Structure 1
Amino acid sequence: MDHWLLIFSTLLAAAGAFWGILSVRQGKRSRWTVIWMAGTFLLQLGFLTVRGQDRAACPLRDTGEILVYLSWSLTLFYLLIGPAYRISLLGVFSAPLVVIFQSTALFPGVLAVSPERVANTSPWGETHSAVSVLSYGAFALAAVAGTMFLVLDHQLKAHQMAGGLFRNLPPIRELLTSLGRLLWLGLGLLTIGIIAGLLMPRNGSMAHLIAAIAVWFAYAILLLVRAKRGLSGRSLSLFTVAVFVLSLAVFALI
């Protein structure tokens, strides 16, 4: 049952991305993207609930579960940030990322077919895993916003201001404000995750905790430089996307 929930949520995200891109090409701003993504979110939540019951723990025990949890977190922050700040086009950019993550999770061997129940769970350990991956949803959406800014910046410099995409992109200032808030939100959540990780019992390798601390420093330095010396929108967007991609690569290797 859980695999079918994941398949249907992936199809809904793909439909949202297709519908959104089609609307943009026609020069329209479709509200259907939000509805598609809301349906995706509910099915993701159903999947995670079923897996959590099977695991008797937070469903973050294999790569597939982590990817789905990250997709759920990304969708959650999109639904909170996008409509609230009238950046509905975030869904057109974030839905394909959800499709990529969840399609990867559906590859054979990535997601356990028969998940085993977890014994001797620690509240601090569960909090560390859940909140840390939740923070990556905020960082992922910040990277999406950064990508949107880079697309808008490219169109401005290329004088391509008549297309449907340009007309539907939000104002630069509004986009950068949302990007900054997402970075601060992600950093705050990651801080909580790291504190929980330091308090949890030591049962083996600390590689993930060390990687999380390294990611925290990378984002903290980025925000500190922005606050103290200032960064152009293009530089902030490039660094935001680069740090997110590099941090994903680090976690994939450990």
Structure 2
Amino acid sequence: MLPLSPSLLPSIAAAVLYAAATTYQGIRVSQGAKADQRLLYLLGALAVVAQAYALASQMITPLGLSLNFFSAASLIAAAVITLTLVACTRIPVANLLLLLFPLGCATTLIAQFVPSGTVPLINEEPGILAHILLSILAYGMFTIAVFQALLLLVQDYQLKHKHPSGLIRNFPPLQTMESLLFGFLWAGWGLLSLSLISGWLFLDNLFAQHLVHKTLLACLAWIVFSVLLWGRNRLGWRGHKAIRWTLAGFCLLMLAYFGSKLVREYILHI
């Protein structure tokens, strides 16, 4: 009998906790009521801790850091949920958790049960780890911004057609939702800028063959978000135009990281 993986039980625990939090919040929202925040945050925090423990078991090896495609997705999901839980103590973004908890559940199970591809170990030099951390935080912040943009789109549509659902009735006003979106975008843009700078400082060659697509797409995403924030500041961009630019920049960013990582690990095997 093969020994159990040390990450198995925490992965299952995280998935169960995320599912419980999603079910509880979903039931309360469908009833047009707000979930008990202390219970919701407790379930979410316990799930993140269990997911982080599972990830540590999967990623930390005696020879270096093993960050495969699905572990990276789980790590970013954990970062996104952690950032959102922290933000919930100051700003009204608890509704985002109804979308993020299922993401956490799915990614932790996939990271545990789906075989990884060819994964080069990461040199654990402080500069490289700082670049990775900044990249993950940037992806996480932009992920929150995208979910916020999607909720804003749904809210705008339902208010215009005058049939708001239970979820929408629990939302802050439209203007507040839009201000929150641009707050997340500014934070993500700042983190992405620092990530690109740290990559330029600490990576040997940002335009090496295995990095060139990632670098170019990340730079394009930075330009898209820069134009969006300039348009907001100078031209008052809002509504559907802001949402379209947000989605475009996010797609470029996800292709930069996950697209290149998927091709390298599962197609090229490098």
TM range (shorter): 0.7 to 0.9
The amino acid across from 1:189 in the alignment is: L
State the match for 1:136 in structure 2: 139
For 1:55 and 1:68, the matched residues in 2 are separated by 21
Deviations 1:205-230 (A, max 9, x none): 32333332222222112111111112
* Structure 1 moving runs of 4+ over 6 Å: none
DSSP-derived class of the 1:89 partner? helix
CA shift, 1:147, in A, is 1.1
| Structure 1 range deviating more: 24-33 or 205-214 | 205-214
CA contact (8 A) 2:138 2:188 kept: yes
TM-score of the two chains, using structure 2 as the length reference: 0.82
Residue 228 (structure 2) aligned to one of 217, 222, 230: 222
Q: Distance in 2 between matches of 1:199 and 1:132?
A: 14
Cα shift at 1:142:
0.7
Counterpart of 1:49 (choices 56, 69, 81) is 56
- Which range moved further: 182-191 or 39-48? 39-48
* Root mean square deviation, CA, Å: 2.5
Bigger radius of gyration, 1 or 2? 2
Q: Does the 8 A contact of 1:122 with 1:200 survive in 2?
A: no
The within-5 A match list for 1:101-112 is 101-110=107-116
Q: Does 1:21 align with 2:26?
A: yes
Cα offset, 1:71, TM superposition = 0.7
TM-score normalised by L of structure 1:
0.86
C-alpha displacement of 1:58: 5.2
Structure 1 match to 2:124: 121
Shift in CA distance, 221/57, structure 1 to aligned 2, threshold 3 Å: farther
**Structure 1 pair 27/212, CA: closer, same or farther in 2 (3 Å)?**
same
Alpha carbons of 1:217 and 1:56: their partners in 2 closer, same or farther (altered >3 Å)? farther
C-alpha distance in structure 2 between counterparts of 1:111 and 1:37, whole Å = 30
**SS of corresponding position for 1:196:** helix
1:45–1:146 Cα change, 3 Å:
same
| Contact 2:217-2:252 within 8 A present in 1 as well | no
In structure 1, the gaps of 5 or more residues are: none
Q: Distance in 2 between matches of 1:57 and 1:146?
A: 37
Is this contact kept in 2: 1:58–1:130, CA < 8 A? no
Query: Which aligned pairs between 1:70-219 and structure 2 lie closer than 5 A?
Result: 70-110=76-116, 118=121, 120-161=123-164, 163-202=165-204, 204=208, 205-207=210-212, 208-219=214-225
Identity of aligned residues (%): 24
Counterpart residue number, 2:9: 4
